[in-house]
Structure formats: structure tokens, C-alpha cells
Amino acid sequence: MKKKWILLLGVCLVMACASSTFAAETLKRLGTHPFSPPMNTETELRTMVQNNNAELRTGFAKAGNPELFEEFMAQFPAAAIDSIRIAPGERLDWMLFKKNGAGPVKVIKDVTWDGKAPFDAYRFYITKDGRRYEFIVPTECGNLSLRTAGRVPGKPAVVPPPVAVPEPAPRPEKVAERRGGPVVDIGVSRMFDPATYAFGRVGYEFPFAERWSAMALIGGFIRFEGDDYGDAFIADALLNYYITEKMFVGGGVGFWAGDEDQADLILNMGYLVYENPGVFKTSLFIEGRCEADNLTSSNSTRLGAGLRFQF
């Protein structure tokens, strides 16, 4: 039993240390998940901002800059706007978008433009508390982005008086940002008896709160090493909590139908290693499962690792 928990703790520490490795996002195309229709003039840009007050407020909060929103809305109507081109390799602090141009506003952080050519964008500056924030908006998709933030050069800019912006009618908020979808798991599991298995399962994710989701999965374990315990069919029900946008922990129960039928208790945790926003996600996960009626025996524990694909 002690050996099992030491192994689980060690893998958890490895996953936590890996968080900085997969921090950045690369963007190769624009227009797939636009915040608004394409904009050809500064007037269309100013209209887009005025008409999306509530969604921009939500976007600033999800990006980690809720305190900047009021200054943004106050200064933007009088801000000077110029046209620039963003070259491949340039980095943005964050970018707002909507999945397929609809639904709740989402955010990706630490974005690097990796397209084949530069893209056209509008640029303007907002100042707050002695710092200057450089914003860009691609003309093709309207995805408001924070490019840089730093000290105001020279003397602080004179901030124009606030301009009254009419508040739009309140909209009901979405409870869960994540959408459900198909899930496919593949991996390898080791039983201390000993036996080694390859496993796979398919199922569906059901988000029901901002940081919570449930999963129902079925699949099988195929033994390719060891003498005891043969192949098995499994049916699992998992409950996961997202600590951050990328890391989750969870647990649940499973049914193991093999040489002997049994109920399992399951613990797992994982980390998102790749995402094409709104299309496809890949996570690395670890999982321990133990017979519910034999928790004190380390020989009955199966400890595995695998990849989770979500569509």
C-alpha cells in the first residue's frame, strides 16, 4: 500500500513540473474561430467594440486582466488607431476568440503567429497606472489581442475623459465554458501481481460546471505480460476537476469483467499537451485503479499512463 502511494506521488510531482513545458500556443490560420466578421475600416472596429461590451468584459476576466476593462472602454473611443502587419514568429500575450464564430468568448495565452505570411491588423494603445498596453485586432477575424505591456515611454499620456458607453441588455451567462464531446483513451497499465496490459476505451465528456466534468467510458485491457489475470472488459465513470485550463484531477468507479468480475476505485490526473481550439485536444494522463474490496493489497493495484484525445 505504501509503495502504491509513493509511486502516485512521484508521478504527480513530474506532471506538476511539466506545466511550463507546454505553456505556449502556436497559431497558423486566422478566421477559423473569429470573434467578429472581417473589418475593413476603423469605424467597423469601433462599432464592434461598442456592440460587444459584455463579451469583452468576460474576455478580459478570462485573460487575467479584469482591472483593465474599464480603462479600455473609457479610452478606446478616442484612441489613435493605425494599421500594421504581424510577421510570422511574433508573439501575443493573449487573444480572444469564439469557437466557430459563436458561443461564449474564449482566450488563448502566450500565442505565437506561425502562419506562412504576415497578417493585417489594427493597433492602438491603452494606458493605466503608468503602464502602456498595446492591443492589436486582426482585420480578418476581429480577435482582440494584447500584444505587449510595459512602462509608458517619456511623460505619461494624457487620458481623455471617460466616454459614456451604453450598456447592452444583460445576457444570461453560460454555466460551463467547456463543451462535451467524444473521448478516446489509449495507454499501458502495470499490475504489481505482476501483469502488464495495453488498454483502450472510448466515451463521452459531459461538462456540468465551469471547472467540473463527468465522463462515461467503455473499453478493454489486454494482457501482454504476466501469468495471472487475463484480458478484461471495463466500464468506467469518472468525475474530473480542472485545477487550471490545462491540468485536471479526478476519480471514479469502474467495472472490471475478466477472469473475475469486480468493482474498481479509480484515481487519475492529467495535463493538456496540445490543443487546436474548438477542434481537437490531446492530454497526457496517469491513472491508478484498485479493487474496491481489496484496497489494502498493493498486488491488486493497476498503475497506468496514457494519452487522452478529445474531439
CATH of the domain at 279: 2.40.160.20
* The CA-based dihedral angle spanning residues 247, 252, 256, 260, taken in that order and rounded to the nearest 10 degrees: 130
Q: How many domains does the chain have?
A: 2
Q: Give 58's pLDDT tier (boundaries 50, 70, 90).
A: very high
CB within 8 Å of 223: residues ≥ 6 apart:
195, 196, 197, 229, 230, 231
137 and 235 belong to one structural domain = no
Q: Half-sphere exposure of 303 toward its Cβ, with a 13 Å CA cutoff?
A: 16
> For 53-74, what is the mean pLDDT?
94
Q: Half-sphere exposure of 240 toward its Cβ, with a 13 Å CA cutoff?
A: 28
36 and 130 belong to one structural domain = yes
146 and 246 belong to one structural domain = no
pLDDT of 13 > 50? The answer is no
Q: Is 161 a member of any domain?
A: no
For residue 287, what is its C-alpha cell?
491513472
Distance from the first to the final alpha carbon of the chain: 36
> For 26-43, what is the mean pLDDT?
91
136 and 223 belong to one structural domain = no
Full residue range of the structural domain in which residue 265 is found: 2-23+177-310
Q: What is the pLDDT of residues 142-195, one digit of tens each?
A: 999 999 998 988 655 466 677 776 777 666 544 335 567 899 999 999 887 788
pLDDT of 118 > 90? The answer is yes
C-alpha 298/C-alpha 204 separation (Å) is 30
Q: Is 294 a member of any domain?
A: yes
306 and 200 belong to one structural domain = yes
Q: Is 103 a member of any domain?
A: yes
141 and 236 belong to one structural domain = no
* Residue 304 and residue 188 in contact, taking contact as beta carbons nearer than 8 Å: yes
Q: Is 146 a member of any domain?
A: yes
> For 34-39, what is the mean pLDDT?
92
Cis before 194? omega within 30: yes
pTM: 0.47
15 and 45 belong to one structural domain = no
